[in-house]
Chains A and B, each alone.
Chain A
Amino acid sequence: MTAGLGLGRPQTQAIVGDEDVVRVRQLVRTVAVAAKLSLVDQTKLVTAASELARNTLVYGGGGQVEVTTVDNGRRQGVRIVFTDSGPGIPDLELALTDGYTTGGGLGLGLSGARRLVDEFDIQTAVGQGTRITVTKWSR
């Protein structure tokens, strides 16, 4: 763990059905408000979480999300980790291309989510699953 990074107690939510995507949005909204993110940043983070949670459900076959408040000594923020044990993403660059979709979507979820947050990290391995970590800092 990074030195000087204060972490709150993580809150987890399983993603197994459509209603869980709504629960993730509500959880992220609550934590973002507590971390004093502005209304615009709350909305951006909630929307990014909605995209990543739905990908976890639809492509990852379900998984779980962990939401934590973080503090780097200067700012507060919210960190969200999405984990699934699905098929993984074979071509990450392609998946992150605007408009690329294998599921008849707009193909903007993954690339859009990256633009909506301050930090974005993907660990993925074919046949093993995907783990995406995003962070949004208060301004």
Chain B
Amino acid sequence: MALDAAQGSRLAGLLGDHAEQIVKRWADSVAVSLRGRLSQAELQSQVRELHRALLVALEGDGRELHAESAGELRAVLSELSRSRARRGFTATETAVSVFALKDIVLETMSAGGGAEQNLRDFVAYSALIDQLGLFTFESYAKAREELIADQAEQLLELSTPVVKLWEGVVAVPLVGTLDSARAQVVMERLLQTLVDTGSPYAIIDITGVPAVDTQVAQHILKTVVAARLMGADCIISGIRPQIAQTIVALGIEFGDIATKASLADALRHVLKLTGVDAARRNARRES
């Protein structure tokens, strides 16, 4: 598909003979397209590495990107894409670093003469460089997806704190979408905190949840049942009027679970309960 053997060795010769000049012109050309957002030294070393890996591939059987001897070339391209993705460059800006080689090769070739063979060679070299460029697109997209997944996971961690509100009272303020993954995290955190603090009360605050559907409701109900099994009572707070009406229309029943409009109401409710408990205990001691 890409190069025949003779073309492969001619390209290797070209890249090898004019190595210094090619690396320099290549780095300069990429620098222009990235408008100085990477240092010249860093660009030079990236381009030099690409150049070296490409030579290694061509000197082996690597006239196609998936060839055995092109392994290092693939690794260098992936690493380039990953680092560009992490530093906020676009996929185009990443691929351009590779495509720039075309102009440099064309320049170097036209300086040599031999028009007809050159044309055929250049078309073949172009196809190879296209392969390399497209490969960076794929690696770039993959790197971005990983980044996003990482961030989503971090968000997952960040947005489910369990706080101790009062002696014997912990609270989980839920913000955003309560999907199955987050619900699992919330439940585990809450149960662990109940164990760690020995709290008999937990307040689940849903002020920051934009919509309570059957899935969210089911996750909350499961959490409440699990907490109960551990001897803790849950109160659901932050039920805004529009959410209350929607829950009723959906037909969701929270049974005997206490629900309050605000976190403050929930805390007051718990303190009243514990106050009664304490008073009872005191009363018993006195009698």
Contacts and interface: CB of A to CB of B under 8 A. Distances in A.
B213 A43 contact: no
Contacts of B246: 40, 43-44, 47, 116
A47 B251 contact: no
Contacts of B217: 106
Interface in B199-239: 210-215, 217-218
Nearest to B212: A47
Interface in B219-277: 241-243, 245-246, 249-252
B237 to A, nearest CB: 18
B250 A43 contact: no
B252 A108 contact: yes
Give chain A's interface residue range (CB within 8 Å of chain B).
20 to 34
**Chain B at the A interface: SS class:** helix
A46 interface: yes
B21 interface: no
A105 B243 contact: no
B179 interface: yes
A42 B240 CA distance: 13
Contact of B241 (A40, A108, A113): A40
Interface in A89-117: 98, 105-106, 108-109, 111-113, 115-116
A22 B178 CA distance: 10
Contact of B211 (A18, A46, A106, A112): A46
B214 A43 contact: no
Contacts of A115: 249-251
Interface string B12-54: 0000000000000000000000000000000000000000000
B180 interface: yes
Contacts of B250: 47, 51, 108, 112-113, 115-116
A61 B214 CA distance: 19
Contact of B242 (A25, A40, A50, A54): A40
Contacts of A22: 177, 179
A112 B251 contact: yes
Nearest to A18: B179
14 contacts: A18-B180, A25-B210, A43-B211, A44-B242, A44-B249, A47-B211, A47-B212, A47-B213, A51-B213, A51-B214, A105-B218, A108-B214, A113-B250, A115-B249
A-B CB proximity, top 8 nearest: A112-B250, A43-B242, A50-B213, A40-B242, A106-B214, A115-B249, A108-B251, A47-B211
Interface of A: 18, 22, 25, 29, 39-40, 42-44, 46-47, 50-51, 54, 98, 105-106, 108-109, 111-113, 115-116
